[in-house]
Amino acid sequence: MVEKIHKSESEWREQLTPEQYRIVREHGTERPFSGEYVTSHEDGTYCCVACGQPLFSSDTKFESGTGWPSFWDVVKQGNVELVEDHSLSMRRTEVRCARCDAHLGHVFEDGPQDKTGLRYCINSVALKLQPHDE
């Protein structure tokens, strides 16, 4: 189990850019095809922008055509939490960082069938790529 990070909203506002805050703390979504990592092919680990928790590997990233970075698995079970999301009159599964509760995106069951069958559809703004060579 991951140890939780607790900060006040003012502490989060000081740490994050306004766009990062809107997405990870207020459960926002970036515009499709606007994110830094949508078409990125760099090797590395995608970490939570708010707390640095490792979340996804470039080895599981794939081109879904949806406009957001997509992954078919997480780096380590327990690093993300899945939460029922009924906002916008939809039934979805929200993906959050297990350490700091940052909103990352959503997971869907239309990913690569030869892998997990999952598509973690994640906002670029919620991620920071840590290259493998560092």
The CATH number for 26's domain is: 2.170.150.20
CB atoms within 10 A of CB 58: 19
Q: Going residue by residue through the chain, which has 134 residues, state the pLDDT in tens, using 9 for 90 and above.
A: 789 999 999 999 999 999 999 999 999 999 999 999 999 999 999 999 999 999 999 999 999 999 999 999 999 999 999 998 777 667 889 999 999 999 999 999 999 999 999 999 999 999 999 998 75
User: Is residue 36 a part of any domain in this protein?
Assistant: no
User: Is residue 88 a part of any domain in this protein?
Assistant: yes
User: Is residue 2 a part of any domain in this protein?
Assistant: no
CA 124, CA 35: separation in Å to the nearest integer?
Answer: 5
**pLDDT at res. 85:** 79
- The boundaries of the domain holding residue 83 are 9-30+44-131
User: Is residue 101 a part of any domain in this protein?
Assistant: yes
Strands 127-131, 44-48: pairing is antiparallel
**pLDDT at res. 52:** 97
User: Is residue 96 a part of any domain in this protein?
Assistant: yes
User: Is residue 37 a part of any domain in this protein?
Assistant: no
User: Is residue 38 a part of any domain in this protein?
Assistant: no
Which residues are catalytically annotated? Answer: 121
User: Is residue 99 a part of any domain in this protein?
Assistant: yes
Q: How many domains does the chain have?
A: 1
What are the residues facing 93 on neighbouring strands?
A: 84, 107
For residue 104, which of 55, 67, 34 has the smallest C-alpha distance?
55
